[in-house]
Structure 1
């Protein structure tokens, strides 16, 4: 087990964001967190990495845990000239070879001299992914990393994540609202709405009453998620608000 939580609760003032959440991530698996806007998905990831302190409960991390984190978005001063290479050496320096390998794994090889502010949304997300990979993580956390990408870009990004998992053996936990893609790109799904509503392998979760009720899906919507084996042809019938 790389990381787990036991009865994890988080309150902001009088508002309970997470209520007695028990999760675990094993080495090499991909776990996807889905849930409506305001369900506590991002808070859960921030609590796991230590950016948010739990009100009660605990997070248990393996001694050799190394986390790579890809945020939902990154605000960069548009007037600040910075190359991708320079961006990837902050806050600590990395060798040229390490940067080259990280960019190649993230699917944006050869972009070291590109200005960060000239990157497209998809390119920037991949550079952020490369930055996370520089830490040689045993656990890769992605918080709505495909937000703002079109469907083709989203499918390509998740394929890249799967390839990275297979190549490096790292575990992946990702927050997503792309139901039409992640249900084919994950080992386990956790439905979160302040508490865990249901979890399990995608095929089981997609048929659960809790899942259908949470996202307002009917049987035709669920079938749309699985209709095509080729992820480039998935029908987007159900999607969630980011949050």
Structure 2
């Protein structure tokens, strides 16, 4: 089932062309990752799909009653704010304990309802934002560089969690990311964006495309193998915050 279709979408910011005739489809049950250099239009594309930006030409078609869950890049929490996880998930609309527990379980935060939000690690906070996005059972889950501040093992663990959510919930996932080291192997399709779609397809196809290598070089292949090697082992998803393995 196709959830969102972009047909020749052209977006301007002021006089600057940000997206140039972009066409793509997002289908239920697939993980699509958008990669590209800074200023390539990744965030603009995401905001256009969300409906926060309107194209100057082209068409965005969304499936009727489409539910979208959104995970921002980061959220700053005041350390003095006396709010626990369950309360955070019930703002601004109260959620049932069952809904909260299910979302936390899918985000690998089971049993943390009473934990103060300000005490969460970087990885736990990102998974809390993921749990929040799952509360309304989205058809499409959109993540904006969700592993910013995590090292490679932490990022790989987060992407394994996304794969598990896709498998259990059947939703589509759109990830905007700069994590070339691990994100490619978590994806069914990769879109390389630089104002326009440079190349797209299966991760291995994109990683070997001349257009991709012109933007990012050829260093991703070994990291793809590393990610797949890690993925084949059974281990716990520990949190890894920025700086611990740089």
Q: TM-score, normalised by structure 1?
A: 0.90
- Give the deviation of 1:232 after TM superposition: 5.7
Contact 2:34 2:176 in 1 (8 A): yes
Task: Spell out the pairing of 1:90-129 with structure 2 (5 A cutoff).
Answer: 90-129=91-130
Partner of 2:82: 81
96-105 or 72-81, larger mean C-alpha shift: 72-81
- How has the CA–CA distance of structure 1 residues 144 and 174 changed in structure 2, closer, same or farther, with 3 Å as cutoff? same
Partner of 1:223: 221
Contact 1:8 1:20 in 2 (8 A): yes
Q: Structure 1 stretches of 5 or more lacking a match? A: 234-243
- 1:47 has 2:45 as partner: no
- How has the CA–CA distance of structure 1 residues 87 and 39 changed in structure 2, closer, same or farther, with 3 Å as cutoff? same
Aligned length: 230
Task: Spell out the pairing of 1:170-181 with structure 2 (5 A cutoff).
Answer: 170-181=171-182
112-121 or 51-60, larger mean C-alpha shift: 51-60
Partner of 1:133: 134
45-54 or 23-32, larger mean C-alpha shift: 45-54
- Give the deviation of 1:41 after TM superposition: 0.7
| Partner deviation per Cα, 1:185-221 (whole Å, 9 max, x = no partner) | 1100000111111101111111110000011x13xx2
- How has the CA–CA distance of structure 1 residues 51 and 77 changed in structure 2, closer, same or farther, with 3 Å as cutoff? farther
Q: TM-score, normalised by structure 2?
A: 0.89
- 1:210 has 2:211 as partner: yes
CA RMSD of aligned residues (A): 1.5
CA distance in 2, matches of 1:52, 1:128: 23
- How has the CA–CA distance of structure 1 residues 137 and 162 changed in structure 2, closer, same or farther, with 3 Å as cutoff? same
CA distance in 2, matches of 1:188, 1:151: 20
Partner of 1:237: none
CA distance in 1, matches of 2:179, 2:114: 32
123-132 or 45-54, larger mean C-alpha shift: 45-54
- How has the CA–CA distance of structure 1 residues 155 and 194 changed in structure 2, closer, same or farther, with 3 Å as cutoff? same
| Partner deviation per Cα, 1:80-131 (whole Å, 9 max, x = no partner) | 3211111101121110011011001001111111111111111110000000
- How has the CA–CA distance of structure 1 residues 111 and 29 changed in structure 2, closer, same or farther, with 3 Å as cutoff? same
Contact 1:181 1:231 in 2 (8 A): no
Q: Structure 2 stretches of 5 or more lacking a match? A: 233-246
CA distance in 1, matches of 2:145, 2:225: 24
Partner of 2:241: none
Contact 2:207 2:221 in 1 (8 A): no
